[in-house]
Copies of this chain bind each other. A is one copy, B any other.
């Protein structure tokens, strides 16, 4: 796969950023090593990046990544090795794992992701079975993923403080691939097995604003390390709470927040000689799956939303009501594949980058959210690992993937700090 084409000509600062990242590779890797000594690595994660040619930044970090099926299978051994390392840290004695996927069993692409995850952990030498929290599934149920792979879901049961399956399968580790948007089910509370990621990584507790607050610090430290302006890798953001989209409560305050942020972005654009229109993304502070997301170029746009827009903004997955939003600097996506907009997503397991893919979407603009419900993206997996090629240009595919892997790991590190800060048991 050719690396997507950067369609704008204003790619000077990004090339410079990529060049600095490449040059500083030993310092960067050393810095990551020391960071991972101080902060426990999230079990796994994926990061949505945006590359505007003048800025390369994470816009979302998923603690329960789907889409493992979109990774290049040539790189499965990397994922397996990373999975071995991740399991070793949690429970070196683990023989088996109970994987709890999302409840939406009708998305056969998601089922393909589940099958891909099962395969990785089986190759790492674990017995893997799938336990579902879906109340509609009351007995073992065979489903079929989009690629034909069989996916057998069994209802999770609780025996004392352990999760088991009906036949007594009693694993020492429970792996969540369910982001708990609907809240933390009592079934999962206070279990004695190793539960990864922890419950407070779910959207019942997690807030995007906490993540990007942690990312602010990480970006600051990293920018100092390689002597760059942190803005080049960090989208500005602000939070707004106390909202009720249906009753239009908090609307003016939201408009003011949008206005302030647009002004801050405009200042940075002027400083950097960037001639695009700033925009911001308004999204639910908790939740995922691209519901409750708006792309906004002026404060007026959030005033007097029509019913459709209000409905869209007021709930996210599993009916979670939106009263808090994050207003995030929009980062243009100028990477294109045959004129279609492409957004890179990088996958990590333990501290390792194990691959990535581009979300390629023909129907959307450079300033829109590409992870929207019903969106039909074409996944285009990274062809090579995210390792630098010292002989290549800064923007050759491998080196671009290396830069992507570095920025994604910064977001992972922010995720680690975020989990520490929100850990109910953390001292």
Contacts and interface: CB of A to CB of B under 8 A. Distances in A.
A81 B218 CA distance: 23
Most buried by B among A30, A36, A96: A30
A387 B77 contact: yes
Nearest to A125: B29
A5 interface: no
Interface string A79-94: 0111011011000111
Nearest to A387: B123
Given A26-B95, A92-B37, A125 B78 contact: no
A26 B87 CA distance: 13
A385 to B, nearest CB: 4
Given A26-B95, A34-B92, A123 B84 contact: no
Number of copies: 2
Contacts of A77: 75, 78, 385, 387
B75 A124 contact: no
B76 A78 contact: no
A124 B388 CA distance: 10
A226 interface: no
A383 to B, nearest CB: 11
Q: How large is the interface on A (under 10, 10 to 19, 20 to 34, 35 or more residues)?
A: 35 or more
A32 interface: yes
B33 A93 contact: yes
A241 to B, nearest CB: 40
Contact of A26 (B26, B27, B33, B125): B125
A171 to B, nearest CB: 12
Contact of A80 (B88, B124, B387): B387
Contacts of A351: 84
A125 B352 contact: no
A25 interface: yes
Most buried by B among A85, A92, A94: A85
A250 B74 CA distance: 55
A377 to B, nearest CB: 25
A126 interface: yes
A232 interface: no
A156 to B, nearest CB: 21
Contacts of A123: 387-388
A25 B81 contact: no
Contacts of A93: 30, 33-34, 37
Interface of A: 25-30, 32-34, 36-37, 74-78, 80-82, 84-85, 87-88, 92-96, 122-127, 351-352, 385, 387-388, 390
8 contacts: A26-B126, A30-B95, A32-B125, A33-B88, A33-B125, A36-B88, A37-B93, A75-B77
